[in-house]
Amino acid sequence: MAESVTLKVNKREGRGTRLARRLRKQGHVPGVLYGHGEATISVVLPADDLVKAIRHGARVVDLDQGGALEKALIRDLQWDPLGHDIVHVDFARVAADERIEVDVRLELRGTAPGVTAGGRLDQPLHNLEVECLAISIPESIRVNIGELQIGSVIHVRDLKLPEGVIARNDPDAVVVQVTEPMADVEAPETALPGAEPQSAEPEVIGRQKAEKEEEAEE
């Protein structure tokens, strides 16, 4: 569980792209606070503080609005196209005793014996959708792969979740598995005798139909 983080936010006056860009240039991130049937407030906060909180795995933060503390969940982050900077943040008001649904990172622990034996580790699920109390969101869910042999699979139903945390994913969904190593499939240098040569150009949709129609007319 991540430690409680307090973020100092200020109310944002004015709207629009130009103002938001100006704020970002000054090292701030524009955001919005909503939820619980209360008024939606536009806010602004220092980018460094937000990045630091996210890097430390904070999900529920205390927003300090000039002395008044309010608990909020970081609901959404918008990134710039290159993924360098946070462009906008959404905060949703939450109560400490409220049950919420969030995505939690799955963390693989240990070395699978199947991998040392030449198998291939495949992890189709990187995040688990869980329902838990707002104040007890696990930072990550550890998956022990120390006993995973070739052909073994860990499903969502096999995961050991902390108390009070319920998985919302399909229980039969595969979290991690060790499969047989795939042989390098290289294209054959020479075509097998009798085999049809592979065409160098793709089939053009509608061309065969048009040719058939022309033949019928003739």
Neighbours of 188 (CB within 10 A): 7
By beta-carbon proximity to another protein, the closer residue of 37 and 197 is 197
Q: Least distance to another protein from the beta carbon of 69, Å? A: 21
Phi, psi of 188 (to 5 degrees): -65, 140
By beta-carbon proximity to another protein, the closer residue of 172 and 186 is 186
Residue 206 DSSP SS3: coil
By beta-carbon proximity to another protein, the closer residue of 6 and 127 is 127
The secondary structure of 95-141 as a DSSP string is -TT-EEEEEEEEEEES--HHHHTT-EEE----EEEEEEEGGG--SEE
Q: Least distance to another protein from the beta carbon of 67, Å? A: 27
Q: Is 19 left (phi over 0), alpha (psi -120 to 50) or beta?
A: alpha
Q: Least distance to another protein from the beta carbon of 10, Å? A: 22
By beta-carbon proximity to another protein, the closer residue of 6 and 78 is 78
Give the interface with another protein as residue ranges (CB under 8 A). Answer: 54-55, 57, 59, 74-77, 79, 81-83, 103-105, 115, 118, 120-123, 126-127, 181-184, 187, 198, 201-206
